[in-house]
Structure 1
Amino acid sequence: MNTLTFFISVSFVLFCLYMAKHAVLGYQRARASSRWPSVEGVLVSVELWGNRNIDGEMVAANNLRVKYDYQINADGYSGNTVAYYELHYPETTEFAEAHPEGSQVKVFYNPHNCVQSVLVPGLHPAKPYGGLILAGFGVVFSLGISAGIWLGYIG
């Protein structure tokens, strides 16, 4: 095995471990958010972006970007996190239709760090462990490929 192959395989393993760390932190943050207190806030902006073919027409609906303001003990805060997972069509359009600009919205905030906030707390209802599973596969795959390279079975 040459030095370049070793460097690439180690880099791949480290990258997958880095992504796994962020998947675990994201899971923990999303899970914790379901226990956060809430206050009323106001949606300052709601923007759908990323074209998607819907009924033969290209429509900006694939992704969602929001900005909202809220107050805690007379201190003003702004947030832009809808959920601690990615919303994609049709979740994006459903959210935008239910929460137009200027509407009141419930904002869940971290009581230990009020700047951290989210509009949809908790894990994704359909795939709560999706990020962890993907990260786990990445780590196992990278270790398997790297072990094959290091032991001389690959390359």
Structure 2
Amino acid sequence: MRLLWGFLHVLCAVIAAVGVVFLGAGLKQLWRASRTQRWPTAPGKVISTDELMHLRKVPEGEGGGSRLLYEAQVHYEYTVGRVLIGSTRVRVTPSETSSEARSQATLARYPPGQELRVFYNPEDPTESVLEPGAHPLDFVRAGVGGTLVLVAGAAPLIARWFAARL
């Protein structure tokens, strides 16, 4: 029985460690995304748009094969001071998606020739976004990490509760 409890504690420690890594990375990503809302803006213009398709290999443990991902790429230019800067970044987080409709919706929001406000990092004006702030999918990594930490903390307690009932 001690061996089983030892295994359970080691397993929970590993799950908690993975959860802490995911939670830390997710919170860092959310912090970076929320920081963009305070960035100054500059006038900009959409130059062109493209929809890129990426074929990604799926690991064997997740079924293998490949997966098609779509990326809405918006080429825009903006001026900070007297410097003309070009970029393709819509959000802080990558814009790849498995949904072609979501990619098309992003492209539809930014037709070529459209004038817009570009949010840029005052410390590095070449870092910019069109859509500042955190978006719903940005919370996934932190949510998964938090869930793993909670499961790892609750599992030994639940196991002890069941063991006491036997």
What is the TM-score normalised by the length of structure 1?
0.63
Q: 1:67 to 1:18 in 2, by over 3 A?
A: farther
- Residue 23 of structure 1 and its aligned partner are, at CA, apart by 1.0
Q: Is the 8 A contact 1:106 1:119 kept in 2?
A: yes
In structure 1, list runs of 5 or more residues that go unmatched. Answer: 2-6, 52-59, 148-155
Q: 1:8 to 1:46 in 2, by over 3 A?
A: farther
What is the TM-score normalised by the length of structure 2?
0.60
| Alignment of 1:67 onto 2:78 | no
Query: Match for 1:70: what amino acid?
Result: Y
Separation (CA, whole Å) in 2 of partners of 1:42 and 1:61: 26
Q: 1:142 to 1:45 in 2, by over 3 A?
A: farther
Separation (CA, whole Å) in 2 of partners of 1:31 and 1:100: 26
| Alignment of 1:134 onto 2:144 | yes
Q: 1:17 to 1:40 in 2, by over 3 A?
A: same
SS at match of 2:26: helix
Q: 1:105 to 1:35 in 2, by over 3 A?
A: same
Greater fraction helix: 2
Please say which structure displays the higher CA radius of gyration.
2
- Find the partner of 2:33 among 26, 30, 44: 30
Report the count of equivalent residues: 143
Q: Percent identity, aligned pairs only?
A: 20
Query: What is the aligned partner in structure 1 of residue 129 from structure 2?
Result: 118
Q: Is the 8 A contact 2:15 2:149 kept in 1?
A: no
- Residue 39 of structure 1 and its aligned partner are, at CA, apart by 1.1
Q: 1:135 to 1:79 in 2, by over 3 A?
A: farther
Deviations 1:11-63 (A, max 9, x none): 76555433322211111121121222211223344222349xxxxxxxx9843
Q: CA RMSD in A?
A: 4.0
Q: How does 1:49-60 map to 2 (within 5 A)?
A: 49-50=52-53
